[in-house]
Amino acid sequence: MRIQVLALLACLPTSRLAAGDVPGVVRHEEIYGRKYGVALTLDVLQPPNPNGYGIVAVISGGFFSSHEAINPSFMREILDRGYTVFAVVHGSQPTFTIPEITEDMQRSVRWIRANAFRHGVKPDKLGAFGGSAGGHLSLTLGTRGKPGDPAGKDPVERESSAVQAVACFFPPTDFENWAEPGDTQVGVGKVGRTFHAAFGPRSETLETRLALGPEISPIHFVTQSMPPTLILHGDADKLVPIHQARIFAKKCEEVGAPVKLVVKPGADHGWPGMDKDLAQFADWFDEHLRGIKR
């Protein structure tokens, strides 16, 4: 399984270019939470001319996340626009399941919002992006962002986990209808078996799979009030089929949620020049966070 996870990571944005810092970008690590005594960390990437807006970069492939996978070079199109990037590392499978990883991402956004002024970004204007599992988690932030608990003892937990714009590459959106209606991958099927640990013991029986599938599938949380969402997806993707993006976009259109799907003809799960496609993400964030239409 470890080999398969690393093979998927090789297809993702964070590892397509040699990892390295971008000249002029100040980078430092922060702790946004703790889980079972282990620190949950993110890297803050501050561009030389910050525009005052923050973007969450979800570092995830196959629901495995690592500090080594953070690739500032890949994010250059976004950093060059002046966005401060918060590259979030979450707890990984096989130790943690998708619902637990989702909690990490929610926590990270709350922490960023609680510390927004310290990092010079607007707390009410945050974007999120990622690819594959990182795309799924970005959509989950977009569809399931929650208000904070005003009575919480931890000031971070008093903050909202909602983001105001999402852009992502080839995201899983519906684990119950993978390549076609009824094609479940919740702990079974090719994807379900490959990343079985990410679904955890709740995928062991039909009854628990039927409950877990909707819980972890962003398509079930689409509402008219969700943030503007951009998806780039190849129509030859052999791992996460284009069907996933199309049914999500259709659901958004049915309820009047703001969505844009860009299909890359002939592209598989990752393609040469993906770093340049982040200019489309930057345009999206410019429009929907800053009110600047390119």
For 141-151, write each residue's pLDDT tens digit. Answer: 999 999 999 99
Give the mean pLDDT of the chain: 92
Distance CA 21, CA 31 (A): 20
The DSSP secondary-structure symbol of 218 reads: G
**Amino acid present at 24:** G
Chain CA centroid to CA 172, Å: 10
Q: What percent of the chain has pLDDT over 70?
A: 93
pLDDT at 8: 39
- Residues 14-31: tens digit of each pLDDT: 333 334 678 899 999 999
187-194: long-range contacts, CB 8 A cutoff, minimum separation 24: 187/212, 191/239, 194/1, 194/4, 194/62
pLDDT for 209 equals: 93
Mind listing the pLDDT tens digit for each residue in 102-117?
999 999 999 999 999 9
pTM of the complete model: 0.92
Q: What is the mean pLDDT of residues 162-181?
A: 97
Question: Given this model, what pLDDT does residue 20 score?
Answer: 66
What token pair was written down for 60?
């995830």
Q: C-alpha angle 104/211/145, rounded to 5°?
A: 35
**Is a pLDDT exceeding 80 seen at residue 12?**
no
Whole-number pLDDT of residue 17: 31
What is the set of domains in the chain, with CATH numbers?
2-287 (3.40.50.1820)
> Confidence class of residue 183 from pLDDT cuts 50, 70 and 90?
very high
Cα angle 276, 6, 267 (rounded to 5 degrees) comes to: 40
Tens-place pLDDT, residues 57-84: 999 999 999 999 999 999 999 999 999 9
Q: In angstroms, rounded to a whole number, what is the distance separating the alpha carbons of residues 159 and 155? A: 7
Confidence (pLDDT) at 22:
84
Question: How many Å apart are CA 112 and CA 135, to the nearest integer?
Answer: 19
Position 293 confidence tier, pLDDT thresholds 50, 70, 90: confident
In DSSP terms, 58 is beta-bridged to 88
**Span 167-172, mean pLDDT?**
98
Single-letter amino acid code for the residue at 294: R
How many C-beta atoms lie closer than 10 Å to residue 227's C-beta?
A: 21
Residue with tokens 């500090």: 67
Tell me if 223 sits within 8 A of 139, measured CB to CB.
Answer: no
